Structure 1
Amino acid sequence: MSVHAAFDLVRDETIPEIASDVRLYRHKKTGAEVMSYINDDENKVFGITFKTPPEDSTGVAHILEHSVLCGSRKYPVKKPFVELIKSSMNTFLNAMTFPDKTAYPVASQNLQDFYNLVDVYLDAVFFPLISEDTFRQEGWHYEADGTQMPLAYKGVVFNEMKGAYSSPAALLGKVSQLSLYPDNAYGVNSGGDPKAIPDLTYDYFKNFHRRFYHPSNAKIVFYGDDPEGRRLEMLDEYLSQFDAAPVDATVKLQPRFHEPRHIESTYAATEAEPGKKTGMITVNWMLDEIEDPETVLALNVLEHVLVGTPAAPLRKALTDSGLGEGLTGSGLADDLRQPYFTVGLKGIDEGDGGKVETLVLDTLRKLAADGIDPLTIEASMNSFEFALRENNTGSFPRGMALMFRTMKNWLHGGDPFDSLTYEKPLEALKARVAAGEPVFETLVDRHLNSNTHRVTVLLRADTTQAEREVAEERERLDGVAEGLDEAGREDIVEITAKLKALQDTADPPEALAKIPSLGLNDLDRVNKPIPIERDTLAGARLYTHPLPTNGVIYLDLAFDLRRVPAELLPYLSLFSRALFQTGTAREDFVSLTQRIGRSTGGVGASRSISMMRDTASVAAWLFIRGKAVPDKADELLAIITDVLTSANLDNRERIKQMALEEKAGFESGIAGRGNGIAAGRLGASLNPASWANEQSSGVSYLFFLRELLKGIDNEEGWLRIKAALYAIRDLVIDRQSMVLNVTSDAGLWNAFRPKLEGFVAALPASDAAPRLWLPSTPVNEGLTFPGQVNYVAKGANLYTLGYEHTGATAVALRQLNTTYLWDKVRVQGGAYGGSASFDPFSGGFVFTSYRDPNLLETLAAYDGAAQWLKQGIGEQDLVRSIIGAIGAIDTYRLPDAKGFTSLMWELTGNTDENRQVRREQILDATTTDVSRFADVLGEVARAGQIVVLGSETAIKTANQERGGFLSVTKVL
């Protein structure tokens, strides 16, 4: 091993837990620290993180995070970030603002692409252009199209945070955090408060970058199978341009409270139905700095013990109380210098806040004094250990997960290696538990019961708040306007026009050419195969995938949901949860949950409903997915047998609790997924699969839950609900139509096969036939909720408009999303996002916007897409969009995800041959193909359906201007 001359090797360790050699380097000239992970993971990761503690809630760190990626010294274009999205093979590309840091991570499986990403990001963070126009665009600015026009605020982050503050759940979480840390950086909103963002000046913004974006304040990570020497060379090319500098980025410790505090706040709501519970509450504790690895691990296990499952004792006490409809975001937040623990209920009577607080405190005191059920502890310990050893981060790159795992200690002067090894602290913790030591009871007593640094936050519904906030913003803007002379008003009009002109002006081709990109010759013409063997087992279809799974057996069971009649579709979500959360004939749901935790890596249910490829058929499946090590395979199958054949679907109280949780979760999460809600509502008229999804998870499902809860307490209503759940089980649980899918190390399958065969043979058989589902009638609809932003959708079924899809459609969409919609909806419109999506199986196409201050303007942008696309795109843009489209296909997957993806291909008729043809069509796409897509977009502009989720005022105003084109439905 040779160390680059510009770096000192501080530490070098081999860490078996993460199968990596890990080296800590320090750059000699600047002091920048680098963690270098060397392993055989092809999903390479780079990340650079700066400690950026804010001093106020103007969102400076967040706005800067957006802005540095809008052009740099080496890459002087308006949006190098978007050019990378368009043309990179990345498996991750983004940036994130946290309460005390800002991180810029990227990942790719392609080495040259990885180097391209690293170079663009390093130049962006160290040498950004961050002009005042960028600050205005990404942060905030006054906008007016004429000197007599009223002023308005515009800015991407400004509207993003308006959306965040429209979510009661997000608002509660933020108030809870801020209330615990009134005297340090964690007591302000690093993302930005919309009321404070307009106080941010360009000078302060620029100075924030000078203060914190310096190598002396940087923590850098490389991970994967790329050559280590090149990592250090690339870094030194940038770092060596700086000298060491003192950077005061310390997050000072929050002084402890000597007695608990209580805070009340409000959120914007509409007039509630009589009897509706609209309050939300959390009880929050700040913990001291914790550096001991065993204590850190134990606290994470404790989180699972207390609230990690529906049967966890603190969570169960709250849900069983009847005081609320569901848990708030609860658990341990351990990525801050001083962590905090939070727990609470939403959907409470506002007068019951004291009762909830008392219940939380009494439950914790009782657990500490009387002891926690040893089976609960055993289940949590096993679940946590299984997760550590499996190291399954899903689609999130493993290197990034490690980066964030180490960052808390590393950022604040601790040892980054402490969080990488777990064998010693885990074995020590297990030994203490096995010896009968009350480990978790002691933690509860010390960190919660005896902790006076506690804040209880009650959030009340305020039906006048939304209107009041609009009026306050208008008053503030009018006050600014009144203080302007004619020259000042002309300046704002001129700035508005200049910014719009800049946004409309294309980057010079020679500047765009500087953005590094792969070429078409760098792309494989053949799809990467996923190994599959097709067979039958006890009459059921069987797929197996021999893949290296580190000794874990992944089992997927698929049951045909097409047998469910239309009127029972809204029950599917409750049915899926009820299988695992109501208990069985053998045990109550607490015992079942403990059994799952003690014996498996997890078992649960999910659903997928889509159209089949190249047919008018629906593919609708209930999945039971589980994982276990081989010596627990029998128990995994026994658990699944019990839940499928004897789940207590007549457990009235649990069904009611789940319905309340589903309703409360939907209502509190509307602002976070408004684009999906609007798109789902629109899609219900496009094809039967989308209609079924909307019935079982969309706005229709929310309305269904509200009606179900009105009737569940009377005998007639309950009998109807119970009958529906049992009917679904009898129709769906059938070994003859079931599909089996196993992903495991090849050597494990032979021993598991006979066990699985016996399991299948014992399941019931059913001869139910598929039912007919029909899409709804198209309606232009305005869905109202008390938010400050809109989510605007417009779409149509392109196949009914005569469009013939090829793989080249993906290229046209890539160009549309990364250029036209990015510019028109986000950059110029000020929305946080805008996109277009197309489902080649159904023909469904939809435009959507996210956290959008506009409505009619966004619809006009959608309608202009056809004309823009018809103008054609250049060869450079075409190639880049082809590369990006292939990158979306060649996504990185862990073994279990490969097995499940292959199963989905089988169930939807997406054959290897079809996918290969699509890949070749993408690679061979031409500008003519892109222009052809413009023709059908013209038809969408003319005949497309519209659904908007937005404020009542915005929808009413749009209806006044467009002659009542939206029917109005109140959602919240």
Structure 2
Amino acid sequence: MTHTIIHGFELTRDETIVELKTRARLYRHVKTGAQVLSLENDDENKVFGVSFRTPPADSTGVAHILEHSVLGGSQKYPLKEPFVQLLKGSLHTFLNAFTSPDKTTYPVASTNLKDFYNLIEVYLDAVFHPLLTPHHLDQEGWHYELEDPEAPLAYRGVVFNEMKGVYSSPDAILGRAAMQGLFPENSYGYDYGGDPRVIPQLTYEQFVAFHRRYYHPSNALFFFYGDDDPLRRLEILDAVLCEFEPAPPADIPPVHPPFAQPRKMTVPFGVDGESGLSRKSMVNVSWALPEIADPSLRMALSVLSYAVIGAPASPLRKALVDSGLGEDVMGGASGSIRQPIFSVVMKGIAGADAEKVERLILETLEKLSSEGIDPEMVEAAINSIEFSLRENNTGSYPRGLSLFMRALQNWNYGRDPLELLRYETPLAVVKRRIAADPDFLGRLIRIYLLDNPHRLTVLAEPDPTYNQRLAEEERRKLDAAKAAMTPEALQRIVENTRALKERQQRPDAPEELAKLPTLKLSDLERTNKPIPLAVSELADGGALLYHDLFTNGILYLNLGFDLSRVPQELLPYAPFLGRALLEMGTEREDYVKFSQRIDRKTGGVWWSDYVSEIRGQEKPAARFFVSAKATVAQVPDLLDILREMLLTVRLDDRERFRQIALKTKARWEASLIPSGHAYVRSRLQAGLTTAGWADEQLDGIEGLFFVRKLVEQVEQDWPSVLEKLEAVRRALLGRQNLVVNVTLDADNWTTVQPQLLAFVQELPKATQTGAEWRAPLANNDEGLAIPAQVNYVGKGGSLYALGYTYHGSIHVINNFIRTEWLWNKVRAEGGAYGAFVSFGKQSGVYSFLSYRDPNLERTLAIYDQTAEMLRTVELNEDELTKNIIGAIGDVDAYQLPDAKGFTSMARWLIGETDEMRQQMREEILATTVADFRRLGEALAELNRRARVVVMGSPDALNNLNSDGRRLRMTKVM
């Protein structure tokens, strides 16, 4: 068979994926063997990516450090941070990179074609021709830092500090131990992200050699998706690949030999103090499955996973929760590496109960295998998976990127990348097998779990001395290293520290910046794209908001109840009412059957809260949402479910509510270290506005303190808790001031509207009215103590209280502060993983935040220096244009239809009109350096009045206080 060569590529397959309305073509680059998956469709959100197989041979994190470093300058673009320049001045809808256990992936996305090609050009030069100087390893990986030969030696590096943050999270410690323990004899037995204790073993020679070995076209998998020219894709790639000679691709990680018998291991994690350790352990029971190439079998295992543990009503989850052995359960199947893993995790157990948990897991699986799974649970699993596949709703994540990552689950291991993109046939096969053979799923449990000896049980136990021991071990290593150095070697480290800082502080030359492909202001739309909105009145002061958008026959519905009706003292109970609505059952069905019905008959039902300031008003916009999605054919079932939920939910099952409260507490505590910056921001805002205070009660540190007390109250005074829940229900779940938000196309809306209006009329009037919230706003500086090896540093205040008047230029200036000033000062020079600035247009709250930061006082000083920087900064026209483009990119963030509908409603709730948004856009486009100066003056005044909130270890916070700060200390964990 003769293949036509197109731009250096031969076509190897050309097929249509009907489910995705997509033409898929696979190509092979003739010279290098590089593979390309080219997906052609009408999606304007175009995606490009390249992935390299990068199996680690140790835990130095070399693949992870390299992922950071290749984006730090290349032959064609010899800048300090081309990646940051793209972040600053692109219309990208996605721009990042991922390190995975056996691959490294570089994806970009944009709806603007010129921007898309610019992103591809920079990324291709980055991965194939990076500069990779020793300073790149120093900054992104690790280096010895020493400014004075007499001072103590220190480790610094972005990935080093990032992974210190990871190793402060008990969940991450448990998950990594399980992965490495399941596969001790292949590359999955190493930490691909890097173990902070091992990262300093990485040499520059190893660093460069890893790139040379794996970052080659012969080891590359390229991906395109969207409505761009499919032949241009090949032309762009060949222009880069043609200069390379063929090389052997990296080996596929081998299938691990199965264990002869199950194994066990125990790992520690850090906590502060000895109190309450009896129920802080966690256990993970995991199985490594054999390699599974059959897409129908993979689909069957997905159905099995959901049915067994994936939903609140799933029998294994229920058995573990009902046992009372722990606080939270999670788990299921994961297929992101060559061998799928099935895991079950229980948190909040007593360490001595780990064997009981393991025994209960096995006994429950044995029962399910022999007696079968409830057919309604299986139906719920199938419908949930099928709805998700057909909806293809990836949130803010580009759809094409989701498909790329799915294809790699086969492609990275030499299997067919198209198989996992098609779901109709595998789904149909699974449905037929289950219908014809009731024992089908039970046999899968037997084969892949019960009779599979490749099982590992990991117990993670709290250790109050763990973090201290790590710090002491690090100090000993550093002291020993320094003691072994000659004065000349120490001087070289001092000089390298100085040289690295000089490099970090040195601006890029204008002629080098000019080489980077960029957009012009003329490439930008001058007007906003409005979201369709029709508003009509409902009875009792309510409103119906309708958005005529194509949703592929899916109704997206938000019922927004008036949260301001809830009395101030009862506000923290509102989220628990939300959880109860979904997880307590109704007068007709217990929570198992009700949960199954939601999954069988809809695309999902969920609750959320929304609180926002309204500019110029004291009272915030506050809503409690019950949201849902369903096909138009499912709408009658959906409305029946919502009616039953809102009118007849059972709140009086004490044991079930206790389980919900324990699970909530466990998940809240687990999120503290991974999301420390978000909690710091919430805490800052809680002291500045009523909406910030309310949000802190619902979702912040105060909410965590509340749920801990709630668990005790459920045990000690359940009637009081029940009465408060009932009071919140009476205040909240009524049709007064109800906002109903609908996103659906016009033809289907004519069918749905009368059903929905009839449903609304059946809702009762709320019978309790809350008093106006009078928030006790704190104004002190605060330290939040957690057992972490890194810090989260925040400082903020209200610009409006200082007389600042909102102007759209602030978005441009913030883009510059984030991607230039904070990136260089806090991340590159300071070694923090991230640094941010945020501004609330409605509240006027301006805040600085850092993420996984080794510093405290230094970072706060940089925040304070921002004002003077803005007052003196010199920006040329190109730099200003870049930041304007980045700000417009944020304003025009790509959204799927359901997100557009919700966004439009949120704007309506706070009174933000299309005219106001257009004025904002025009102010962004007209930004000048004078606007930077004006904001600098406002921030100089803010420096004197802003609050400081920092989260970190008790030692770090105490050191900050000893340096002259006056932090009120709050122990969080």
**Do these two structures clear the TM 0.5 threshold for a shared fold by scoring above it?**
yes
Amino acid at match of 2:340: P
Q: What is residue 700 of structure 1 aligned with on the other side? A: 702
Amino acid at match of 1:87: G
1:131-179 CA-partner distances (Å, limit 9, x unpaired): 1001100000000111111100000000000000000011111111110
Q: What is residue 555 of structure 2 aligned with on the other side? A: 553
Q: What is residue 213 of structure 1 aligned with on the other side? A: 215
1:467-516 CA-partner distances (Å, limit 9, x unpaired): 11111100000000000111011011000001011111000011111111
* 2:343 maps to 1:342: yes
* 2:765 maps to 1:765: yes
Q: What is residue 224 of structure 2 aligned with on the other side? A: 222
* 2:61 maps to 1:64: no
Q: What is residue 729 of structure 2 aligned with on the other side? A: 729
1:723-781 CA-partner distances (Å, limit 9, x unpaired): 11111111111213111111112211111111111101110013636622324221111
Q: What is residue 358 of structure 1 aligned with on the other side? A: 359
* Structure 2 SS opposite 1:734: coil
Q: What is residue 80 of structure 1 aligned with on the other side? A: 82
Q: Distance in 2 between matches of 1:785 and 1:771?
A: 34
Q: Distance in 1 between matches of 2:21 and 2:258?
A: 40
* Structure 2 SS opposite 1:473: helix
Q: What is residue 747 of structure 2 aligned with on the other side? A: 747
* Structure 2 SS opposite 1:968: strand
* Structure 2 SS opposite 1:800: helix
Q: What is residue 720 of structure 2 aligned with on the other side? A: 720
Q: What is residue 54 of structure 2 aligned with on the other side? A: 52
Q: Distance in 2 between matches of 1:436 and 1:4?
A: 49
Q: What is residue 674 of structure 2 aligned with on the other side? A: 672
* Structure 2 SS opposite 1:545: strand
Change (3 A) 1:775 1:917: farther
CA shift for structure 1 position 33: 0.3
Structure 2: runs of 5+ lacking an equivalent:
none
Q: Distance in 2 between matches of 1:929 and 1:327?
A: 51
Q: What is residue 567 of structure 1 aligned with on the other side? A: 569
CA shift for structure 1 position 631: 1.9
Q: Distance in 1 between matches of 2:841 and 2:549?
A: 29
Q: What is residue 395 of structure 1 aligned with on the other side? A: 396
Structure 1: runs of 5+ lacking an equivalent:
none
Q: Distance in 1 between matches of 2:297 and 2:215?
A: 33
Q: What is residue 825 of structure 2 aligned with on the other side? A: 824
CA shift for structure 1 position 538: 4.9
* Structure 2 SS opposite 1:419: coil
Matching residue within 892, 896, 899 for 1:897: 899
Amino acid at match of 1:152: A
CA shift for structure 1 position 275: 6.7
- Judge which range, 897-906 or 106-115, deviates more: 897-906
- Judge which range, 766-775 or 108-117, deviates more: 766-775
Amino acid at match of 1:335: S
Amino acid at match of 1:77: L
1:418-460 CA-partner distances (Å, limit 9, x unpaired): 1111111111111122224322111111111111000000001
Amino acid at match of 1:885: A
* Structure 1 SS opposite 2:551: coil
TM-score by length of 2: 0.98
Q: Distance in 2 between matches of 1:762 and 1:658?
A: 29
CA shift for structure 1 position 599: 0.5
Q: Distance in 2 between matches of 1:654 and 1:116?
A: 54
CA shift for structure 1 position 195: 0.2
Q: Distance in 2 between matches of 1:862 and 1:209?
A: 36
CA shift for structure 1 position 713: 1.2
Equivalences for residues 316-331 of structure 1 within 5 A: 316-328=318-330, 330-331=331-332
Q: What is residue 455 of structure 1 aligned with on the other side? A: 456
TM-score by length of 1: 0.98
Amino acid at match of 1:626: A
Instruction: Say whether the 8 Å CA contact 2:7–2:234 is kept in structure 1.
Output: no
Q: Distance in 2 between matches of 1:780 and 1:2?
A: 69
Equivalences for residues 436-835 of structure 1 within 5 A: 436-538=437-539, 540-714=542-716, 717-766=717-766, 768=769, 771-835=772-836
Matching residue within 905, 908, 917 for 1:906: 908
* Structure 2 SS opposite 1:90: coil
Identity %: 49
Q: Distance in 1 between matches of 2:293 and 2:728?
A: 50
Q: Distance in 2 between matches of 1:608 and 1:680?
A: 14
Instruction: Say whether the 8 Å CA contact 1:15–1:21 is kept in structure 2.
Output: yes
Q: What is residue 154 of structure 2 aligned with on the other side? A: 152
Q: What is residue 868 of structure 1 aligned with on the other side? A: 869
Q: Distance in 2 between matches of 1:247 and 1:394?
A: 34
Instruction: Say whether the 8 Å CA contact 1:139–1:155 is kept in structure 2.
Output: yes
Change (3 A) 1:275 1:952: closer
Instruction: Say whether the 8 Å CA contact 2:380–2:597 is kept in structure 1.
Output: yes
Q: Distance in 2 between matches of 1:268 and 1:588?
A: 39
Q: What is residue 931 of structure 1 aligned with on the other side? A: 933
Amino acid at match of 1:131: T
4+ residue runs of structure 1 moved beyond 4 angstroms?
A: none
1:841-897 CA-partner distances (Å, limit 9, x unpaired): 001111110000000111111111111111123322211110000000111111111
CA shift for structure 1 position 5: 3.6
- Judge which range, 71-80 or 330-339, deviates more: 330-339
Q: What is residue 120 of structure 2 aligned with on the other side? A: 118
Q: Distance in 2 between matches of 1:43 and 1:798?
A: 36
CA shift for structure 1 position 58: 0.2
Q: Distance in 2 between matches of 1:29 and 1:773?
A: 71
* Structure 1 SS opposite 2:599: helix
Equivalences for residues 98-247 of structure 1 within 5 A: 98-247=100-249
Change (3 A) 1:564 1:875: same
Q: Distance in 2 between matches of 1:782 and 1:631?
A: 53
* 2:874 maps to 1:885: no
- Judge which range, 155-164 or 622-631, deviates more: 622-631
Instruction: Say whether the 8 Å CA contact 1:143–1:496 is kept in structure 2.
Output: yes
Instruction: Say whether the 8 Å CA contact 1:281–1:456 is kept in structure 2.
Output: yes
1:206-257 CA-partner distances (Å, limit 9, x unpaired): 0000000000000000000001111111101101110111133321221110
Q: What is residue 37 of structure 1 aligned with on the other side? A: 39
1:344-398 CA-partner distances (Å, limit 9, x unpaired): 2111011111100001111111110111000000111111111111111111101
- Judge which range, 775-784 or 410-419, deviates more: 775-784
Q: Distance in 2 between matches of 1:55 and 1:564?
A: 57
Amino acid at match of 2:41: N
Q: What is residue 383 of structure 2 aligned with on the other side? A: 382
Amino acid at match of 2:466: Q
Amino acid at match of 2:338: R
Q: Distance in 1 between matches of 2:567 and 2:362?
A: 46
* Structure 1 SS opposite 2:802: coil
* Structure 1 SS opposite 2:279: coil
Instruction: Say whether the 8 Å CA contact 2:584–2:650 is kept in structure 1.
Output: yes
Amino acid at match of 1:166: S
Instruction: Say whether the 8 Å CA contact 1:14–1:20 is kept in structure 2.
Output: yes
Change (3 A) 1:76 1:565: same
Amino acid at match of 1:447: Y
Amino acid at match of 1:130: L
Amino acid at match of 1:510: E
Q: Distance in 2 between matches of 1:324 and 1:224?
A: 46
CA shift for structure 1 position 127: 0.2
* Structure 1 SS opposite 2:14: strand
* 2:421 maps to 1:420: yes
CA shift for structure 1 position 708: 1.4
Q: Distance in 2 between matches of 1:248 and 1:105?
A: 20
Q: Distance in 1 between matches of 2:630 and 2:711?
A: 37
Q: What is residue 252 of structure 2 aligned with on the other side? A: 250
Amino acid at match of 2:509: P
Q: Distance in 2 between matches of 1:669 and 1:184?
A: 31
- Judge which range, 425-434 or 76-85, deviates more: 425-434
